[in-house]
Amino acid sequence: MRNEKGFTLIELLIVVVIIGILAAIAIPQFASTKEKAFDAAAKSDLRNLMTAEEAYFSDYQLYTDVTVASGAAADLDSDGNPDFQASQQVDLAATAYTDGYQITATHASSSKTWCINASGTNATGPLGQIVNGTSC
């Protein structure tokens, strides 16, 4: 009488098929999660630049135009100290108006552009909301 231990070919094929199904589900979900992380970085930088604009306004009673490249620092008040640091692969641009500003942010690995309008009369788009697209 033989005492053979091991898996049959059918059992191994079933395991390979199950792993393939799980991978087919997980890989697209992972890609979606990565894009959400890229968008979160862009929106976070947008909020931080908003804070820097408001601090500048508090000191000088006006807003300033600024373009911040990926990973670069911005010295809004030209005092030699950076007021804002952009994340890697995030580009930002702020347009100043007398009553507010408009900021756009994009991440190099995402297809979305995020923007906020903080000017009631000059910029377009919903006031005070971060929105996807170039609607503001």
pLDDT in tens, 35-63: 899 999 999 999 999 999 999 999 999 99
Question: How many Å apart are CA 134 and CA 117, to the nearest integer?
Answer: 11
* 112 vs 127 pLDDT, higher one: 112
DSSP 55-73: HHHHHHSS---EEE-TT-E
Residue 5 has pLDDT above 90, yes or no: no
Model-level pTM? 0.77
In a domain, 21, yes or no: yes
- Contacts of the segment 6-11: beta carbons below 8 A, 24+ positions apart: none
Question: How many Å apart are CA 28 and CA 15, to the nearest integer?
Answer: 21
Determine the pLDDT at residue 61: 94
Domain count, the chain: 1
Integer angstrom CA distances of residue 122 from 13, 26, 62, 131: 64, 45, 14, 17
Determine the pLDDT at residue 28: 83
Within 13 Å, how many C-alpha atoms sit on residue 106's CB side?
Answer: 11
In a domain, 3, yes or no: no
Question: How many Å apart are CA 88 and CA 100, to the nearest integer?
Answer: 27
Mean model confidence pLDDT for the chain: 89
The 10s digit of each residue's pLDDT in 61-75 is: 999 999 999 999 999
In a domain, 79, yes or no: yes
Domain that holds residue 122: 9-132
Determine the pLDDT at residue 1: 62
In a domain, 2, yes or no: no
In a domain, 4, yes or no: no
Residue in the structure block whose two tokens are 């820097």: 52
